[in-house]
Structure 1
């Protein structure tokens, strides 16, 4: 996600050798860049969204499989509470794997590189798909649970490595839009999981293993296409010290011959980064000048998962604040309608169709705001030295909240029946209310301007706010965006993304 996106204007950029001036913005979408973003997102963030929702449709059949397996082994049926606990573990263990993946991704991307990490990560996806899809045939529900853990590791790694790769291969003029590919494909994955789970497709007792076997397809697509694309030019330049390959990678992704400016820019960013001491998580939590920024990131990221859905390119036009609040607000409305339709569906024959519409509307509402903006805000709130710690906090809250939803929802559903979605409506309401009173608009704002907006709430003077920023933070929004890109060099920034 782009942390400090500048407005996408049609500014002139340096001409390639033998060519006239090119315009930034839409003109910078080279074929290789589009293929890299779509392939990376399809094999990474799409699978994350898909695995969030794919377990919902076959829940009844999987529970039956658990019960039959238990009875075959021990000679008696499993009691209801134990079955609910097993199912809760199956759903929520995905988040534990995700947390593990987010923790181990830093040394992996540093050693193997961004692209190679995405490629190697498919080993986890294929292994998980085989375990889960063959669990029924093998008569082992442990295979399904183990597959969910491994798939979580895949998601934790990919949701950090993919945004890192995309941010390092894209021109800064379109980095904000390209970064949203991750959020879009998460929502597409969620929707696909719901569609394939319909009874007419794989949502039948004999077909539910195919829902997990489908995971192999995006993984194989990524394995086939990514090897033909270059590694991140910043990784090649700063980690491998291979200027020739870095220049070729820049030329491929930027679609121009003269990339000397980009190479020098990366080297300059690296020099700035070497002179910047990174802040630890504990130090960030103790920093008074960013206290409310940290709280806002925690609340936003928590609501991102707790809103009940285990953002499009309009983010740069409408702004973060209206999309976040509007997205949560629409989810409240559709959660309420869904509750009514589920409660009365036995009395009115057409209400089940309204329930389906509400589910799709909730997914759409999630996509327009909460789906991607929390990651953008995390980058915009903090200076370069604080961002790695900020992303660590955001990623931890993200995965732990995911785990809490997966573990607790079956019990909430059992207790509240059709009223269970009111819990998520309440969380959305609390999140929207907090954001309405606390979150300033950050679109097209420099880091210094965002810090000033929080200064009064943090109870620090504007002068103190500025003292906490290194001198480079007084640059323009576009220059700050370039500085952030260097913070993901050396694999130091974690985007627990997803």
Structure 2
């Protein structure tokens, strides 16, 4: 006689409490409920998340800010290279346009990366995809260093495009990987590591790129050499990590999936079997991974994907792209010296990092929906104040306005780092089932990177044709307001929810036509008689 499978043995145990009332044949078709778990992830899982993110999201934050305090150095490098190659020195307006384009090309590359993300995640797998993205990153960083030696800003441009591809792939793959290796009860805190490490990257980058560190004409290649070493360290950690359990299960390798769950969750075999049973139930209708076009052909998945795209859009158009890229210049135009503006820029990144601690406390207690709505509303208010202060300085030239602007940017940074900053990287993975995650993450990354590329290319020319205040108001007030309105009516709560439970949450969202708002309920709380 054949021995029963481990899953059948587990479900058939008389002492196993699977959430049903009486034993019988039905017990073999029901998914056992997993007992509530701690919302604190295992230390091993946190260290894994940090190691993965130090090769991806860290470099996103790092690249966002290194061209900010060193802008004058890089612009001079570009102009000297242009003169050596073409015997022509560029005028300031042309040079500003060229430089803003070079800065934005990082996100053009990132946009390209978003469209290969889905293919990489499904064909190579999450872990092998990270190998590829980290390798591309190291190649591009080496090219940036070489460009300084051969005096070629054209090579530097190519390096930024390739680095953008690498960064988007790393961001998307790490977000999917971390969501799939984490227990549902602490998925938010693990996902928060992505945003946290981005802030670590901005702090480190803003310090290392200061004029009195490596932000000089002779030393700026050391910025990239340091970055290369950090990415190499993360690359060397990957061989010690298993593949995503969800991906292994979708490929039919249940034994490897169980071993991976035991490794990541720090649990025993019986607990791992319960997790696998729940994963099978949630993905029973999700055999084949969907492509980026296919995910838009299913009405329900298209709607969820679009919600994730709007969350990413609100993050990009919050103003953070310009604060990261041009904060030093903005502060200098309100009366501060370059050193004062550079120190203030470091202060903003430190506030971002400290705010992550607050975010870790509130992300599980308040939920994704309420946190995104409240922080985006606060960001809208700070953006309005920021535009007013810029215009006030244009009219009065009062020195105190520059210091008030520092305070307002600090408040903006705090709310951004608690809400849209970290949440936009994993909300879409919680909204959709496993078959659609990589495609949805690709669309989310595409929206974010396209928006950042547009903003960085448009801001300086728009500022030069109007002024700082008008440019900031045009780009960062109405888009945030529209995003808040959309999320209020369309964004369900995803905290600790499976895709099935997110469906239930969606049915209780506020309606535009005056329908009553029902209190959201959890499937776990419905009487089992109604379910079974």
414, 426, 449: which one aligns with 2:477: 426
* Alignment match, 1:241: 253
* Alignment match, 2:455: 405
Asked if structure 2 preserves the Cα contact closer than 8 Å seen for 1:321 and 1:435, the reply is no
* Alignment match, 1:305: 316
Instruction: Give 1:414 shift.
Output: 2.3
Aligned residues: 447
TM-score (structure 2 length as normaliser):
0.72
Is it true that 1:325 corresponds to 2:373 in the alignment? yes
229, 233, 245: which one aligns with 2:241: 229
Is it true that 1:362 corresponds to 2:412 in the alignment? yes
Asked if structure 1 preserves the Cα contact closer than 8 Å seen for 2:295 and 2:301, the reply is no
* Alignment match, 1:315: 363
Q: Name which structure has the greater RCO, CA cutoff 8 Å, separation 6+.
A: 1
Asked if structure 2 preserves the Cα contact closer than 8 Å seen for 1:47 and 1:218, the reply is no
Instruction: Give 1:408 shift.
Output: 1.0
Residues 51-450 of structure 1: pairs in structure 2 closer than 5 A: 51-239=63-251, 241=253, 243=255, 245-258=256-269, 259-274=272-287, 281=293, 284=296, 287=299, 296-310=307-321, 312-313=359-360, 314-335=362-383, 338=386, 340=389, 344=393, 352=402, 354-379=404-429, 390-419=440-469, 420-427=471-478, 429-431=480-482, 433-435=484-486, 438-439=489-490, 442=493, 446-450=501-505
1:110-155 deviations in Å (ceiling 9; x for gaps): 3433223223322112112122233222210012111111111111
Asked if structure 2 preserves the Cα contact closer than 8 Å seen for 1:338 and 1:358, the reply is yes
Instruction: Give 1:325 shift.
Output: 3.4
Instruction: Give 1:440 shift.
Output: 5.8
Instruction: Give 1:38 shift.
Output: 0.9
Larger radius of gyration: 2
Asked if structure 2 preserves the Cα contact closer than 8 Å seen for 1:297 and 1:377, the reply is yes
Distance in structure 2 (CA, Å) of the matches to 1:397 and 1:216? 27
Distance in structure 2 (CA, Å) of the matches to 1:448 and 1:54? 42
TM-score (structure 1 length as normaliser):
0.76
Instruction: Give 1:389 shift.
Output: 5.5
Distance in structure 1 (CA, Å) of the matches to 2:273 and 2:305? 38
Instruction: Give 1:168 shift.
Output: 2.1
Unaligned runs of 5+ in 2: 1-15, 19-33, 322-355, 527-532
Instruction: Give 1:55 shift.
Output: 1.7
What SS class does the counterpart of residue 256 from structure 1 fall into? coil
Instruction: Give 1:355 shift.
Output: 4.5
Unaligned runs of 5+ in 1: 1-11, 15-20, 463-472, 479-498
Report the RMSD for the aligned CA atoms in angstroms. Answer: 3.9
Instruction: Give 1:441 shift.
Output: 5.8
Change (3 A) 1:425 1:277: closer
Distance in structure 1 (CA, Å) of the matches to 2:128 and 2:298? 37
* Alignment match, 2:38: 25
Distance in structure 1 (CA, Å) of the matches to 2:107 and 2:54? 20
Instruction: Give 1:203 shift.
Output: 2.8
